[in-house]
Structure 1
Amino acid sequence: MKPANPFGRPLLFLLSTLLMMAVTLGVTHLVVAAYDRDDLASYARHIMARGLEVANESHNIVSNVNAIRFEACSDRFLDEIRYLSFTSVFISDIGYTKDRQLKCTAMRGRLPEPVTMSIPDAVTRYGQRIWTSFSGIVDPRITADMMESKNVLLFPTPAAFRDIYVPYDGFGAVMINHQRDHIFRLFGETSGLVKDVSEPGRLSWWHQAQFSECSKKYDICVMARNTQIGLFSLTATAVVFITLAGLLAGAIFTFAVLQYLRNNRSLQNKLKTAISCDDICVNYQPFVEIKTGKVIGYEALARWKDINGDNIPPDVFIRLAESTNQIKALTRSVVARTLREMSPLLRENKALFVSINITTADVTDPEFKVFLEEEIDKGGFDRRQIVLEITERSTADHRLLKDALVRLREYGYRIALDDFGTGYSNLDYLSKISFDIIKIDKIFTDAIGIESVSFRMLKMMLEMLAQTGSKIIVEGIEEQHQADFLLAHYPKIIAQGWLYGKPVDIGKIRS
């Protein structure tokens, strides 16, 4: 009789266990890599969308400048291009060139001597001339990108791509022309990126993801790469944990772990959890009568610290909430907390008010008004003590917005227009809608005492807005000379800024 092999079953068990571990790791890698590729594509398309916005605005400005019938660089011509510069979002200055010489710009007016343009760094397939990081065109201290088309020289604002941050380690992207011989912008880890995407290696798909897309209308392409996908994007601890999960529970447990990892890696889901758990906090910054120094109200400012203890900037999570359809839930969370925390102060002082940022989608939503009424009934204070600030960055139907604002004002709420003069909120709003309060953006406050177009625009706006009957709030007052100037020339305004008080939590307000 042949003796049983004492090593047969243990060896089979070991091989089966190792096979399950290998399958689990392989499936895990493929699933996570698929998510990572989707994230990379979304990231690249976000960059492309911003590039197209800049290109569209540039194209429209060039068309509008060439449609001006006044003599080039005349006073009337300069007024027109200053208006175009003032109302643009992504262009900081507009110049006029002739015979390869810069004659004038919106910011600097007519130049004492024409500036001869150097050889451009690139010429697009549509004839636009590009200069990258060019210095000394009008001031040796200023370095800027420039684009010339049809005698119009455009200076894109450096902030046009500032809010596009790199989401994870290993991400990189480049905005480039169709010929791939001129780079417009770099994002993240870009070493060898163009070559990797153009000529992918035989096995690079296993640990890398590449994505490229080109515009059919403009000479713009985006090439993106993630060098850490699938298992390579996870920590060593996570890989060991997934391996053990494969040994113990197989595919079901692995799938659950993947879902957990996916949810915790996503800032979008973190925000959703924070809103549902009421983890979005509110700080309050005072409004002060500049003439008397009296605090007459507070602005509610949303603040978020994620589960890792990191402070997420408001412009980041508010834009994320807008792009992922969570902005309504975020607004309601902030409104509910604000009214809950401020209600004792508002009941004690009937002259005090609190200002809350909302979107035009909230204004036109009938359910929001019902929600607001319920919260005010809980607090037991007057509707006149609530100021609703319109901060929507996208366009809206002015007729619907106007009708909704009229109804809110009939109920007793006051309405404010935030960030006036920055390109989002402009004269077009004022021509169609009446506001109780108009807030002038900090960019103009910073120009006080500096002879510049922004300073002249500030004085022009203050004089113009004084005729509307609206209260005027000037934001971002941080220096004493700014306050002195405003007090001397515009003593009826309301001041806001660090000089009068930084945003603090409700505990410090009450004390």
Structure 2
Amino acid sequence: MSRSSIAHSYRIALEGRAPFVTLTAVVVLAVTLLTAQAMLVQRDRAVLDAYADRLLSQAEAVAAASTLALDQAAALVTAPCTSADLAELRLLAFKSRYVRDVGRLQDDRLVCSAAWGVLAAPARMPEPDRRVRGYRLWGSVSGIVDSRVAADMSAKGDVIVTTSPSAFDRVDQLASGMGALLLTRDAGHVFQRFGDVTALDPSRQEAWSDLGSTRHSRRCSATFDICVAARARQSSLLSESPWIVIGLCLLGGFAGSGLGLLISASQRNHRSLPKQLERAILGDGLTLVYQPLRTLSDRRLVGVETLSRWCNEQGEPVPPDTFVPMAERQRLGGALARQVVRKALAELGDRLRDDPTFYVSFNVSATDVVDAAFRAYLNAATAQSGIARQQVVLEITERSTTRHHDLADGMTRLREDGYPFYIDDFGTGYSNFAYLAELPLDAIKMDQRFTRAIGTGSAISQIIEAICVMTRTLDIGLVVEGVETEEQAQVMVELMPSAVAQGWLLGRPVPVDALPVD
């Protein structure tokens, strides 16, 4: 074949491949640009979702504060609108971060409040914007006492609270083109509006494949009738630098991988167990069970230990030895302790008030014991519920006594307030008898590993008698953990007739409505 024939054949081959090369280049370029645009969408979506999460978290915190203030005001035993009652209402308002005022209603008229005192003429409340589960809600109501004042309000029974106007200040600043609504699940009532909401569809839930000109986000609380609907205008790849477009074309494959990682990270972060736990603790999502405490000599029910339980958002139970340390690492231990105290005093309130000899015990951390704010909260909670402080036992693990010098002052102050102190899981920590003698204790709780050793011939069982001698020497009580057999119960009765015990032989942890009478 001649040289000219070869060149002609080569030219024809190139011409035949040209459309395929061109098409491939167009497809690759289109996919790359689509990926880049999708990354911009995901960026905007992540920003919008993060804002919606912050707004929902803030709304849950405000709702929890309002609910707590309503419950605490309803539990007051002072005569409504007296000077003593107003003083207590002012204290509630002062202690709440998100409640500006607490007042009393009579026949749908505001009679008095912490901020305004006793009104010269009761102010009639307008028809509520929303009624749900016994609560009445008003959005930006004005002219109740002063026409210059407008605020969100909520009421239950004869108590009404006013939300602080600054409650949403930290989420009030939106990026350009963003808007959000804080509303009920059925969109029947809007609590707050943020930014431009004129084109916002509160029921729209955006799919992952939606690459349109706007972003939409919707979040709902698992605890309260509160949802967030947010919207943002879409960024465009055409507004970016041409060099960025070129770079994205060259690195299209890497961009696709990065997008997948970004989506995965965003979803994992939102669904992570610590995030779920944070929402449960700040949103009142824990439940309580109570394990009976009985005297071994006559099996009389003398008290209960409070145990917290939590299921994640998939309905799966998470063990306390997993979520309690997790809460402490997230600096949520104080909030967890407060929720447990509040719920237990509410659920056991009637029983504790009816029987002054009956008590409830709580596990507290070393941080709680030395925290002046926790002490104030505990004192306020017992006072408002009408429960004697000696009926509230605080349990601290023996491991915490390694910091006994820091704990001693805090324990002394709480004990002077009237709260008994027990050392929990005695025998598992590091404290020696001298340390325990220095701490202001009322009893120790012998760890169940000693109880299980009874009747086994184990050397551990020989320590039990020494523990009993120690409690008599220190003149403190003994609570035996993990009693599961009659043999264990009888041995402990012989060694320590005054001992109190808990375990499956004496009663398993149950909800308050399943707790035995005696």
Q: What TM-score do the two structures reach when normalised by structure 2?
A: 0.51
* Equivalent position SS for 1:303: strand
What's 1:436 paired with?
Answer: 442
Q: Specify whether residues 426 and 334 from structure 1 end up closer, same or farther in structure 2 by C-alpha distance, changes over 3 A only.
A: farther
1:229 alignment counterpart: none
Aligned counterpart for 1:269 among listed residues 249, 271, 275: 275
**What's 1:322 paired with?**
328
Which of 331, 334, 352 is residue 337 of structure 2 equivalent to?
Answer: 331
- Cα gap change, 1:501/1:328 in structure 2, threshold over 3 Å: closer, same or farther? same
> Does 2:321 correspond to 1:308?
no
Equivalent residue number for residue 464 of structure 1: 470
- Report the Cα distance in structure 2 between the residues aligned to 1:501 and 1:342, rounded to whole angstroms: 17
What is the aligned counterpart of 2:305 among 280, 285, 299? 299
Residue in structure 2 matched with residue 190 of structure 1 by the alignment: none
Tell me, yes or no, if the aligned pair for 1:290 and 1:494 is still in contact at 8 Å.
Answer: yes
Q: CA distance change for structure 1 residues 382 and 394 in 2, over 3 Å: closer, same or farther?
A: closer
State the AA in 2 paired with 1:371: Y
TM-superposed CA distance for 1:452, in Å, is 1.5
Deviation at 1:409, TM superposition (A): 1.3
| Counterpart Cα distance in 2 of 1:451 and 1:287 | 27
**Is residue 20–residue 246 contact of structure 1 (8 Å, CA) maintained in 2?**
no
Residue 424 of structure 1: CA displacement? 4.5
Cα separation, partners in 2 of 1:418 and 1:395, compared to 1, 3 Å:
closer
Alignment of 1:190-269 (within 5 A): 242=208, 244-245=209-210, 261-269=267-275
Query: Deviation at 1:352?
Result: 0.3
Match of 1:407 in 2: 413
1:22 aligns with 2:29: no
Give the Cα–Cα distance (whole angstroms) in 2 for the partners of residues 377 and 262 of structure 1.
43
Partners of 2:434 and 2:288 in 1: CA distance: 31
Post-superposition Cα deviations, 1:298-336, rounded to whole Å, max 9, x if no partner, equal: 000011111111110010111111222221111111111
Distance 2:235 2:267 in 1: 14
Q: Is the 8 A contact 1:28 1:258 kept in 2?
A: no
Counterparts of 1:400 and 1:21 in 2: how far apart (Å)? 60
User: 1:418, 1:425 within 8 Å by CA — same for their partners in 2?
Assistant: no
Structure-1 separation of matches of 2:504 and 2:271: 35
Q: Whole-Å Cα distance in 2 between the matches of residues 315 and 507 of structure 1? A: 25
State the AA in 1 paired with 2:393.
V
The residue aligned with 2:286 is: 280
Report the Cα distance in structure 1 between the residues aligned to 2:328 and 2:41, rounded to whole angstroms: 31
Quote the offset at 1:396 in angstroms.
5.5
Among 356, 377, 387, the residue aligned to 2:393:
387
Q: Match of 1:110?
A: none
Q: Distance in 2 between matches of 1:286 and 1:490?
A: 19
- Identity, in percent, stands at 34
Q: In 2, Cα distance between the equivalents of 1:281 and 1:330?
A: 11
Query: In structure 2, do the counterparts of structure 1 residues 348 and 462 end up closer, same or farther at CA, with 3 Å as the change threshold?
Result: same
The Cα of 1:256 is off from its aligned counterpart by 9.8
Partner of 1:455, secondary structure, is helix
Cα contact 1:417–1:425 (8 A) shared by 2: no
Following superposition, the deviation at residue 509 of structure 1 comes to: 1.9
Contact 1:21–1:247, Cα closer than 8 Å, also in 2: no
Name the SS of the counterpart of 1:446 in structure 2: helix
Cα distance in 2, alignment partners of residues 376 and 252 from structure 1: 54
Correspondence for 2:458: 452
CA distance in 1, matches of 2:211, 2:339: 40
Check conservation: 1:280, 1:304, Cα contact below 8 A.
yes
Which runs of no fewer than 5 residues in structure 2 stay unpaired? 1-22, 44-205, 216-233, 237-258
* Structure 1 segment 143-182 matched on structure 2, within 5 A: none
Deviation at 1:395, TM superposition (A): 6.0
Aligned-partner Cα distance in 2 for 1:379–1:497: 29
* Matches for 1:75-114 after TM superposition, within 5 Å: none
Residue of structure 2 in register with 1:419 after alignment: 425
Determine helix, strand or coil for the equivalent of 2:422: strand
* Shift, 1:507, TM fit: 1.4
The 8 Å contact of residues 299 and 355 in structure 1, kept in 2 or not, is answered as yes
Whether contact under 8 Å (1:270, 1:306) holds in the other structure is yes
- SS of 2:515's partner is helix
Q: Secondary structure at the match of 2:394?
A: strand
Give the drift of 1:399. Answer: 2.9
In structure 2, what is the Cα distance between the partners aligned to 1:428 and 1:264? 48
The structure 1 residue matched to 2:367, chosen from 343, 358, 361, is: 361
Q: Which amino acid aligns with 1:265?
A: R
Distance across 1 between alignment mates of 2:448 and 2:312: 28
Partner in structure 2 of residue 345 of structure 1: 351
Instruction: Give a deviation string over 1:360-398, Cα, whole Å, max 9, x none.
Output: 111111111110011112211111100000137456642
Select which of 476, 480, 485 maps to 2:491.
485
Worse-superposed segment, 396-405 or 265-274: 396-405
Aligned-pair CA distance for 1:434: 2.6
Distance 1:14-1:390 versus aligned 2 partners, 3 A rule: same
Shift of 1:252: 7.2
Deviation, 1:14, is: 7.4
Q: Deviations over 1:84-129 (max 9, x none)?
A: xxxxxxxxxxxxxxxxxxxxxxxxxxxxxxxxxxxxxxxxxxxxxx
For 1:497 and 1:17, the matched residues in 2 are separated by 68
Map Cα deviations across residues 338-370 of structure 1 (whole Å, 9 max, x no partner).
Answer: 111111110111110000000111111111111
**Aligned equivalents of 1:414, 1:364: Cα separation in 2:** 15
**Cα distance in 1 between the residues matched to 2:235 and 2:465:** 66
Alignment check: 8 A CA contact 1:282 1:505 kept: yes
So what's the TM-score if we normalise by structure 1?
0.52
In structure 2, do the counterparts of structure 1 residues 424 and 252 end up closer, same or farther at CA, with 3 Å as the change threshold? farther
SS in 2 for 1:483: helix
Question: Which of the residues 495, 508, 515 maps onto 1:502?
Answer: 508
1:365–1:463: structure 2 CA closer, same or farther, 3 Å change rule?
Answer: same
Alpha-carbon contact 1:296-1:353 (below 8 Å) kept: yes
Distance (whole Å) between structure 2 residues aligned to residue 457 and residue 396 of structure 1: 21
8 A Cα contact 1:420 1:426, kept in partner: no
Alignment of 1:35-50 (within 5 A): none
Give the distance between the partners of 1:28 and 1:318, measured in 2 at CA: 38
Give 3-state SS (helix, strand or coil) of 2:414's partner: helix
